Amino acid sequence: MASTLSKTTISFTTLPSSSPSPKPLLRFAPFSIPNTPSRSQRRSLRISAALSDTAAAAEPFASRFALDEPRKGADILVEALERQGVTDVFAYPGGASMEIHQALTRSAAIRNVLPRHEQGGVFAAEGYARSSGLPGVCIATSGPGATNLVSGLADAMLDSVPLVAITGQVPRRMIGTDAFQETPIVEVTRSITKHNYLVLDIDDIPRIVNEAFFLATSGRPGPVLIDIPKDIQQQLAIPRWDQSIRLPGYTARLPKSPNENLLEIIVRFLLESKKPVLYVGGGCLNSSEELRRFVELTGVPVASTLMGLGAYPVGDEKSLQMLGMHGTVYANYAVDKCDLLLAFGVRFDDRVTGKLEAFASRAKIVHIDIDSAEIGKNKQPHVSVCADLKLALRGINRLLESRGLGKKLDFRGWREELNEQKKRFPLSYKTFEEEICPQYAIEVLDELTNGDAIVSTGVGQHQMWAAQFYKYKRPRQWLTSGGLGAMGFGLPAAMGAAVANPGAVVVDIDGDGSFMMNVQELATIKVEKLPVKILLLNNQHLGMVVQWEDRFYKSNRAHTYLGDPSNENAIFPNMLKFADACGIPAARVAKKGELRGAMQKMLDTPGPYLLDVIVPHQEHVLPMIPSNGTFQDVITEGDGRQSY
């Protein structure tokens, strides 16, 4: 494949490493398209056409233009998106991007879901991508429109979400003159995108769009930005659709098939182990079937990161649920006591490891990851495989099956030890008389939806409770901002998921602080008729910061109260009025006995719905391992009703 590619003209940005390294490494690795919901099945990625004339010939594209008909650059861009199989974009217009919007009105294939803020648009594109496995597409104008995408791009970079962001730019002759609404968005986003482009030649549009989708979806997925000056959008040209991508340096560095000898060593480690544990992350989302087969063959218990929830069914008997700062006691116990840590599709994040020296200190570590930059970055493994995890797991499973080795593995004693920990330290919570515990609200939602809903969240306590108390059954069911921790993510992400998965139950479990940050998207879900259900856990505070104030700052409140100080008995602001302003039905519930009925009504009501659930601000997310702590430091008791 590489031999057919011509010389590249792009440069790559190296990423910083926290450990010394003789040379910088790049983020990259192989790609596989996961099973996706019904709407996504109707949209097939066509990036292979950039590499294969056969693929292009097998699936001819019907253009609305004649082959030799000149058309605007904006129309070339939109047709390039159509050729990628794009059916939905999240685009907010402005002066430098209005030509693109005019072209979108001429497309019969692409629907624009109009967000009410560019940040809402990029988070919606993320929700689309996270829930479907396909690249999300967002479009914004120059200047403030482009800079409003920054948080979403950083979020997609940290959580490895395939995203193509397109921005309008001032005309080429005005670049660098501090023109109206000019920002150098390529420079602004260089370190928070996998790659970005400034289009300076209209003839490059077809190739650049091909490359952008290939980069966003191959290897370790991530965001790619395309910045297009307005004069290029207006210029006329006849596009050449047969241009090959020009990324020889990138494609040459994509990991190859996993080394069979290394897979043999991993199997040998398994045979020698008495207490193995799987530590699985977001890199497992495309390999869920292979992961389940591996667990079926070996009986190894599974602990998941925040990003990996759903890759293995949370409710399964071999699941230890989430590990890390707010993970279960038994998941963290397993990692602390194990003799073999199988780290699959993870990056040893600080919220998981705590004090690195003490993390899995008794274990041999096997690290399989698609990104070579993550191997040994934080924790040095005994065996590492830089490869597509799907291929690696298939290889390991094949070895286990062909030699009947699964029958030789017996970890029942180890699982019984962990089951004792489950009995001693179950996820639990205390009651607040007739007040509604937030954990109870999520348990009721799990029960009423049979664990089948697509769940998005904002960031904070509600996010952790949603991770702990909803039993995710499958990958891409759980959408949350993990690495960046971006408040305001929940509602627009649910919006994107609803677009990608028509007919699915989509619930935004949100906190009042996070919800307020993108509350304007209520207008979008109403106008677009998106049946997003909002379960708002309203405690009138920035709950997670309050918890840290309680634990480490003697409960001194430093601007964490979100209500009206002049009337603390009132619920402020009145979230029901926000919903009413957008014509969305809403209700408030404050007593435990009324919750189930109110939630059932929310789920039964057609279209969007907001349920404002008033919860006590004194509740804490437990268990909790303090930052840079160890398993021995785990906190399992207490809340804001007592002093520390």
Q: Which residues form the catalytic set?
A: 118, 180-181, 230, 544
Strand 71-72 and strand 236-237: the pairing is antiparallel
Amino acid at 506: V
Strand segments, DSSP code E, in 14-72 are 71-72
- Position 321, amino acid: Q
> How distant is the alpha carbon of residue 306 from its chain centre?
10
In 3D space, the residue among 514, 512, 537, 524 whose CA is nearest the CA of residue 607 turns out to be: 524
Q: At what angle do helices 461-469 and 543-552 cross, to 10 degrees?
A: 100
Q: How many CB atoms lie within 10 A of CB 52?
A: 14
The tokens of 263 are what?
């897979």
**Structure token digits, residue 77:** 């861009």
What is the largest distance, in Å, between two alpha-carbon atoms of the chain? 76
Residue 364, strand partner residues = 340
The three-state (H, E, C) secondary structure of 584-629, written as one string? CCEEEECCHHHHHHHHHHHHHCCCCEEEEEECCCCCCCCCECCCCC
Residues 6+ apart with CB under 8 A from 410: 299
Interior CA angle at 27 toward 24 and 30, to 5°? 135
* Alpha-carbon torsion (549, 553, 559, 565), positive or negative: positive
Q: Which two tokens stand for residue 553?
A: 């700052």
Sheet bearing 302-304, strands edge to edge: 319-322, 302-304, 276-280, 340-344, 364-369, 383-386
Residue type, 460: G
Q: Which two tokens stand for residue 332?
A: 């963290």
Q: How many CB atoms lie within 10 A of CB 565?
A: 7
| 561: DSSP letter | B
Residue ranges of alpha helices (H) inside 501-591 are 512-517, 521-527, 543-552, 575-581
Phi, psi at 553, each rounded to 5°: -130, 25
Question: Encoding tokens for residue 40?
Answer: 């996504």
DSSP-assigned letter for residue 538: E
